[in-house]
Amino acid sequence: MSAATGEVVELLTTMIRNGCVNTGDVASGQEVRTADTLRAFLGDAVDTAVVDAAPGRRSVVARLRGSDPTAPSLGLVCHTDVVPATDADWTRDPFAGEVDQGIVWGRGAIDMLDTTATMAVAMRRAGFAARRGIRPRGDIVFVAAADEEGHADHGTRYLLDHHRDEVMADRIVTEGGGWPLTTGPVPALSWAVAEKGSAWLRLDVHGRAGHAAMPHGADNALVTAAEVVRRLAEHRVAPSIPAEWEAWVAAMGLDADLAAGLLDPATVLATAEATGDPALAAHAHACTHLTITPTGARGGVVINAIPDLVEIDVDARILPGQTCAQVEAEIARALGPLTDRVDVVWRHRLETTTSPVASPLRDTIAGIADALVPGTRLVPGMITASTDADYFRRAGAEVYGFSMHSGHATPEQFRRMFHGPDERVDLRSLELSTAMWTELISQS
Ligand SMILES: [Zn+2]
């Protein structure tokens, strides 16, 4: 391991051990631990500030002034919180930060403390270089935000509401890309240009309370709710082909028949399923469909009473050009005659954000990636989850998701590691990403 990689590994394993687990509760996360780790790491090289959005919900912002105030600024945006790791399938302690045979194990290893660590190391180097008079043309901003895994209320949204000038940049790189898309000899890595919109809502299913000992003729909200969930699960939304899916299929360099099948709404799903590749099928489905997923249910008061109310949580995701109103229309179509039995309560709605597929930042990064690993292709596409990129795009930045990954995991293994068990990253990926950000800063 080189000295530079050793520095990244030490920072990454410290952040994994800090275990800034975000459950969505304001008291969780406590990113102050990792924020202070990063402030101590960066502070002697570059101007570094912290912002507390709530007790313990600390973010870090470091800004390096460029030599040319008219040059576009570059943002390196990452997050410091992680999702819980309660899954019994973990074969290692998710918060021990173990390094074994070239692999770093732990929650956050790819989402996204790896990138946080590699960006911080590149930023620190750039700070020292600036002291020696070597400065990039544009400003470089490093933002390590709290609360990305929640609603960003205590992270990016707070930063953009209260410290917009300090955290904004013209062009931003963050998470969501760099996924290995092929297992062949020529690496293809995802380049995220868009995110699906998210529409989270609750369906309140009504019935009539009564004694459970006399169920005949009862109007049991739980029984109705079961039918609501069944109808949602079986509902088929018509596919559509957004431009971001077309760009992805075109850039993947697929066999012509396969590409044609994936670009026709009538055949996209059957074509993807017929490949036998579950990662491709799941990705193709999510990139061409408005999805409606029931994710939780609460109801009932005591065991001997028929409930009059059951609440069902629903996570819906929409494509570019679709609206949250379409989610309500699809739900009504799915529920049919049960629509009148249900009240829709909106929890959160954000329509899709996109950045141009063609951009100078993409060209620069593609050039660096090819120099690091000859033949690397960047495949533009949409990610189906949401990240802080969304808020920065709304604020006016061009935002892309990327990092460099070696072939340490197959596309399917990679997909399963996100928010799943045995999250891990290899040293080669850390080395490549550090080199990527270092070179990107110097070309900015
Ligand atoms: Zn993330």
Per-residue pLDDT of 308-349, as tens digits, reads: 999 999 999 999 999 999 999 999 999 999 999 999 999 988
pLDDT at site 186: 63
Q: Does pLDDT of 292 surpass 90?
A: yes
Give 48-93 pLDDT, tens digit per residue: 999 999 999 999 999 999 999 999 999 999 999 999 998 788 999 9
pLDDT at site 151: 85
Output the CA 269–ligand 1 centroid distance in Å: 27
Output the CA 307–ligand 1 centroid distance in Å: 38
Q: Does pLDDT of 123 surpass 70?
A: yes
CATH number of 196-350: 3.30.70.360
Give the C-alpha separation, 409 to 390, whole Å: 27
Output the CA 111–ligand 1 centroid distance in Å: 4
Output the CA 310–ligand 1 centroid distance in Å: 32
- When the candidates are 3.30.70.20, 3.40.630.10, 3.30.450.20, 3.40.50.720, the CATH number that belongs to 3-194+353-442 is 3.40.630.10
Question: Residue 184's pLDDT band (boundaries 50, 70, 90)?
Answer: low
Residue type, 75: G
Output the CA 30–ligand 1 centroid distance in Å: 16
Q: Which DSSP string corresponds to 123-188? A: HHHHHHHHHTT---SS-EEEEEES-TTTTSTTTHHHHHHH-HHHH--SEEEESS---B---SSS-E
Output the CA 260–ligand 1 centroid distance in Å: 32
Question: Residue 294's pLDDT band (boundaries 50, 70, 90)?
Answer: very high
Output the CA 176–ligand 1 centroid distance in Å: 7
Output the CA 92–ligand 1 centroid distance in Å: 21
Q: Please give the positions annotated as active site.
A: 81, 148
Q: Which DSSP string corresponds to 51-77? A: EESSTT-EEEEEEE--S-TTSPPEEEE
Give 217-262 pLDDT, tens digit per residue: 999 999 999 999 999 999 999 999 999 999 999 988 899 999 999 9
Could you tell me what percent of the chain has a pLDDT over 70?
99
Give the C-alpha separation, 56 to 33, whole Å: 8
- 140-146 mean pLDDT: 98
Give the C-alpha separation, 62 to 236, whole Å: 47
**Any residues with CB less than 8 A from the CB of 157 and at least 6 apart, and which?**
151, 391
Cα-based torsion angle of the residue sequence 32, 34, 40, 43 in order, rounded to the nearest 10 degrees: -80
Output the CA 115–ligand 1 centroid distance in Å: 10
- 408-417 mean pLDDT: 84
Here the tokens at position 21 are: 């687990």
Output the CA 249–ligand 1 centroid distance in Å: 24
Q: Does pLDDT of 189 surpass 80?
A: yes
**In the chain, domain spans:** 3-194+353-442, 196-350
**Any residues with CB less than 8 A from the CB of 18 and at least 6 apart, and which?**
33, 34, 37
Here the tokens at position 352 are: 């899709």
Q: Does pLDDT of 270 surpass 80?
A: yes
Output the CA 67–ligand 1 centroid distance in Å: 32
Output the CA 116–ligand 1 centroid distance in Å: 10
Taking 3-state DSSP, the helix, strand and coil percentages for the chain, each rounded to the nearest 5, stand at: 35, 25, 40
